[in-house]
């Protein structure tokens, strides 16, 4: 165990708490991403423009690659070398609490939405992905600050963040979809 901490010590120091919270955040985000990939056939709107567009198979193939990056992030956190940087980027204290509440609320809505109503499902998925992007951005910033400790950690964080952005882009309502912001602007 890094930093000579006893697992039985009832007092968890803030830097260690930031690491523990980062593990929970990343596990939760990995769950959101996995569910989105598993349900991609239900929510991905395939454009009928004749242009080769993003397909469910594209999302699944990219998802296979991103799963390993989550493992790299957890392994990097286990080193304990990023604890101070995680505190600096707001993964503990009041900012960490706000991120935790935002993510957990969004995930609860997402999981509770079910797939019966596609619009509600996609809205709750997007909310979860936005919170996920915020948190992965914080983790990525911590890893960039301390890049010398675990080679590949910053790259893995960036890959996860970009895949979350791919999912966000893929779930964005099209301009001709009823109820979209583009439709409302007309």
- pLDDT, residue 52, reads 67
Contact between 131 and 106 (Cβ < 8 Å) = yes
The CA-based dihedral angle spanning residues 134, 21, 75, 169, taken in that order and rounded to the nearest 10 degrees: -20
pLDDT at 171 over 60: yes
Number of domains in the chain: 1
Residue 34 lies in a domain: yes
Q: What gap in Å lies between CA 63 and CA 33, rounded to an integer?
A: 8
Residue 3 in any domain: the answer is: no
Per-chain mean pLDDT for the chain: 84
pLDDT of residue 127: 96
The pTM score is 0.82
59 compared with 179, residue with greater pLDDT: 59
User: What is the structure's pLDDT at 151?
Assistant: 80
| Domain boundaries, position 60 | 12-42+54-172
Cα–Cα distance list, 123 to 33, 41, 183 (Å)? 15, 16, 16
Asked if residue 10 has pLDDT above 60, the reply is no
Please choose, from the candidates 131, 181, 163, 160, the residue with its C-alpha nearest in 3D space to the C-alpha of residue 54. Answer: 163
Is residue 160 in some structural domain? yes
185 falls within a domain: no
Contact 121, 113 (CB under 8 A): yes
């Amino acid at each position: 165990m890094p930093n000579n901490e006893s697992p039985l010590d009832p007092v968890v120091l803030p830097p260690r708490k930031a690491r523990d919270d980062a593990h929970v955040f990343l596990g939760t985000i990995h769950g959101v991403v996995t569910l989105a990939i598993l349900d991609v056939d239900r929510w991905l709107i395939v454009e009928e423009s004749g242009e080769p567009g993003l397909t469910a198979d594209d999302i699944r193939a990219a998802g296979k690659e991103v799963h390993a990056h989550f493992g790299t992030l957890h392994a990097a956190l286990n080193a304990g070398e990023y604890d101070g940087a995680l505190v600096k980027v707001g993964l503990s204290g009041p900012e960490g609490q706000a991120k935790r509440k935002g993510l957990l609320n969004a995930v609860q809505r997402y999981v509770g939405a079910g797939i019966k109503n596609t619009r509600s499902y996609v809205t709750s998925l997007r909310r979860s992905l936005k919170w996920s992007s915020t948190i992965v951005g914080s983790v990525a910033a911590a890893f960039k600050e301390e890049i010398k400790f675990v080679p590949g950690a910053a790259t893995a964080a960036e890959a996860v963040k970009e895949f979350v952005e791919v999912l966000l882009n893929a779930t964005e309502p099209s301009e001709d979809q009823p109820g979209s912001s583009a439709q409302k602007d007309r």
